[in-house]
Structure 1
Amino acid sequence: MSQETTAGPPRGVLVTGGSRGIGRAVALAFARGGDRVAVQYAGRRADAEETVRRLPGEGHALLRADLGEPGAAERVAAEAVAALGTVDVLVNNAAVAPTAENRHPVADTPLADWQRVWRRMVEVNLLGAADLSWAVARHLIDRGAPGAIVNVGSRGAFRGEPDFPAYGTTKAALHALGQSLAVALAPHGIAVTSVAPGFVATERQAAKLSAPEGERLRAESPFGRVGTPEEIAATVHFLASPAAVWASGTVVDLNGASHLRT
């Protein structure tokens, strides 16, 4: 899964949730491959600016939007096209991730809090990605151009998330969305795939990994460690390449054999 310079002209790549972690690593992988990248972020401007600063090459863009807001996805897609000239690849990485503040086990969560968390995660993790996928797909279809959409899902879609059921559900739905779009968009030359990472050592998880809980998390994989953002990014980069078109419809497990599904 090389990240060497992409053959042919540079592509326009829209990466959502690109301020840190997996999103930053994905943006770097495409830029290192010679592509122009639009990095979407919601609330961490300094981090997002740092992502763009690190990208090699020219013609990159920074786009701010809360993808849970009505109309935001369509606007981001249009701004990415305006900034890059074209969008050939969409990486749906933005998500409301599990935190102590949005933990919502059914037995301990009041209905109002339950509804608040569910609606927010559905709006960003699923509906924002669905709207962006529509907008980019229509852009590609109207151009008569091939392209790729890669969704960043989660291992939690398969093994369950008892403390964060909305997160697990929206990631499962994102995988299903990708498979439906893979069938619908194949006649247009657009490949759609998803990755399902396990625990990844991002900046957000540093405190957890350095605490006693870190040993348990590393022990989940027979490799005795957790994944890295760069490992996820390498697979996303490959899945968006012309060489991976025949993988369309696939959900790729990236969890170091910590969860095996049949």
Structure 2
Amino acid sequence: MNLPATGRRVLVSGASRGLGRAVAQAFATNGDRVAVHYGSREDEARATLDSLAGTGHVLVGGDLSDAAGAASIAGRAADGLGGIDVLVNNAAVNLPHPLATTEYKQWAALWQQHVSVNLLATANLCHLAARRMIDAGTGGRIVNIGSRGAFRGEPDHPAYGATKAAVHALGQSLAVSLAPYGIGVASVAPGFFDTERVAHRLSGTEGEAIRAQSPFGRVASAEEIAAAVLWLASPSAEWASGAVLDLNGASHLRT
């Protein structure tokens, strides 16, 4: 089972902006063809598509929180690219819901939303992509975007931390079951990184406190995280299958 180093067919979920955009750009610059998925931000996703080096990229919209929607997204991505060699599960929601100040009805709804998008959509796309890789017989790679919060806790975002911990566990289970088919599965666990979504938090005193979490005195760039994702999806990273790679600038050290 030979996975090429370039020219691969890559599906990136949640690629309209932020880390998803950086990941799509990294693969395209590497010479791969990318299916750019978006949920609702079509204009931003088209901007991502237009920014990609090379040709043959496709745009795929749809709701991943619905199982049928996930199947449609994977199918259209595979049709547009001629198959799927690499899946990057980046789509996620992260909405605040501290227990002490969140009403129960809202709490329950937000937990359901986090589980549907962060965990179930990831699991469904893994199945849909991996079965295509198995049928093709050429192996493949799956890289899941987890979080430092799975290990150190997320007091104001507990469903986010819990679902990202589940994503890590899912990846390790699939790494074992899919290895006989030449499919490597790994996760990254980023700490705080700079995107337009969190730019407002990096200004003022809160930004100073966030940067101080790392002894480097800064946060990561989305491009730094994307570079790690690109390596984990490479042919040389097969032995990293099952890994959860910490990318937090020594802001949280786990034993």
- Does the alignment pair 1:165 with 2:158? yes
Deviation at 1:238, TM superposition (A): 0.2
Say which of 109, 123, 132 aligns to 2:125.
132
- Does the alignment pair 1:23 with 2:20? yes
- Does the alignment pair 1:107 with 2:96? no
Report the aligned-residue RMSD: 1.1
The corresponding residue for 2:189 is 196
Deviation at 1:11, TM superposition (A): 0.5
Deviation at 1:38, TM superposition (A): 0.2
Distance (whole Å) between structure 2 residues aligned to residue 118 and residue 197 of structure 1:
21
When normalised by structure 2's length, the TM-score is: 0.97
Deviation at 1:70, TM superposition (A): 3.1
Poorly superposed stretches of 4+, deviation over 4 Å: 6-9
Retained in 2: the 8 A contact 1:11–1:86?
A: no
Tell me how many residue pairs correspond in the alignment: 253
Distance (whole Å) between structure 2 residues aligned to residue 31 and residue 245 of structure 1:
21
- Does the alignment pair 1:176 with 2:176? no
Distance (whole Å) between structure 2 residues aligned to residue 45 and residue 8 of structure 1:
30
Say which of 40, 43, 46 aligns to 1:43.
40
Deviation at 1:243, TM superposition (A): 0.2
Q: Secondary structure at the match of 1:204?
A: helix
Say which of 53, 76, 81 aligns to 1:84.
81
Report percent identity of matched pairs: 60
Structure 2: which 5+ residue stretches go unaligned? none
* Letter paired with 1:164: H
Distance (whole Å) between structure 1 residues aligned to residue 6 and residue 101 of structure 2:
54
Q: Secondary structure at the match of 2:84?
A: coil
* Letter paired with 1:131: N
Cα deviation digits, residues 129-173 of structure 1 (max 9, x gap): 000000000001111121000000000000000111000000000
Distance (whole Å) between structure 1 residues aligned to residue 144 and residue 203 of structure 2:
29
Cα deviation digits, residues 196-254 of structure 1 (max 9, x gap): 00001001111111132000000000000001000000000000000000000000000
Structure 1: which 5+ residue stretches go unaligned? 1-5
Matches for 1:1-262 after TM superposition, within 5 Å: 10-97=7-94, 102-262=95-255
Q: Secondary structure at the match of 1:212?
A: helix
When normalised by structure 1's length, the TM-score is: 0.95
